[in-house]
Amino acid sequence: MPTNDKVFSTLMTQVRQRADMEGSTFVSDTEIRVWLNAALAELHDIMILCFEDYYVNTTTYSLPGTNPGTLPSDFYKALGVDFATGGVTYSIKPYSFQERNMYNSNAGVVSGNLAALRYQIRDSSIHFIPATPPSGTVTLHYIPECQQFRTGGEDDAANINSKNKSVAIGYQEYLVVSAAIKCLMKEESDVRMLLAEKADLQKRIENAAPRKDAGEPHKIVDVSVGTHGDTWINLFN
């Protein structure tokens, strides 16, 4: 298995081998880079759809000072938001535009349940209501965007975050076959065998991804009702 700083150049070589285009200038390295990046983005979405917990990053905000808060530069999708205060952590829910005034009062923690604090992600920020939220720390759990191979040589893989590098290495054949298909399509060659191989690879990835954690399922250990009729379920592994 190649080291991370050799991932890109190794993939480039393998793509040309699979497309039988070694030494050919018909397809440029720039084109192959674009196709590898497209395949990497596909793989990223496949992994998220199959097992979104595969990628989890976190960032924190202090309330009431940070409102709105700036989303991380690599933000792609929120998985959940927690609010910690008084030594207890609660999950908080998003609010819609229609609900923007519904929770704008009675902020705080009432009888051990989070009463009114809600969040909304729009543009490049995370917004909290009410306008003056209770004091505490918010933790945003999110999926990072797909970090792609950039121009610059063999050290391109250094620009891929650690999760994406493991994907590129662990499932590199998917990237290679996907890019090789594009090479042959440009040449107007028959790609049916490679398309079938790609479909098989995708099926294997989809079957393997949810098995990354085969431990015990979550168990519901406590259910309580909040002051706005919300049901709060605490889950423990």
pLDDT for 164-189, tens place per residue? 655 666 788 999 999 999 999 999 99
222: tokens are 């406590």
Distance of CA 88 to the CA centre of its chain: 27
pLDDT digits (tens, 9 = 90+) for 43-92: 989 988 888 777 789 999 999 888 899 999 999 999 999 999 989 899 99
- pTM score, whole prediction: 0.71
pLDDT digits (tens, 9 = 90+) for 183-225: 999 999 999 999 999 999 999 988 887 765 544 444 433 443 4
DSSP 177-231: HHHHHHHHHHTT---HHHHHHHHHHHHHHHHHGGGG--SPPPEEEEEEE-TTS-E
Query: Quick check: 146 and 78 in contact, CB under 8 A?
Result: no
pLDDT digits (tens, 9 = 90+) for 114-136: 557 899 999 899 999 887 788 89
Query: Helix/strand/coil (H, E, C) string of 113-171?
Result: EECCCEEEEECCEEEEECCCCCCEEEEEEEEECCCCCCCCCHHHHHHCCHHHHHHHHHC
pLDDT digits (tens, 9 = 90+) for 27-42: 999 999 999 999 999 9
Euclidean distance between CA atoms 23 and 122, whole angstroms: 48
Residues whose CB falls within 8 Å of the CB of residue 160, separated by 6 or more in sequence, listed in order: 4, 7, 147, 148, 149, 168
Count other Cβ atoms within 10 Å, centred on residue 188.
Answer: 7
Euclidean distance between CA atoms 167 and 147, whole angstroms: 11
Sign of CA dihedral 173, 179, 184, 188: positive
CA distances (Å), origin 150, targets 3, 72, 97, 160 = 17, 20, 38, 9
Residue type, 202: Q
Count other Cβ atoms within 10 Å, centred on residue 228.
Answer: 15
Please tell me whether residue 23 adopts helix, strand or coil conformation: coil
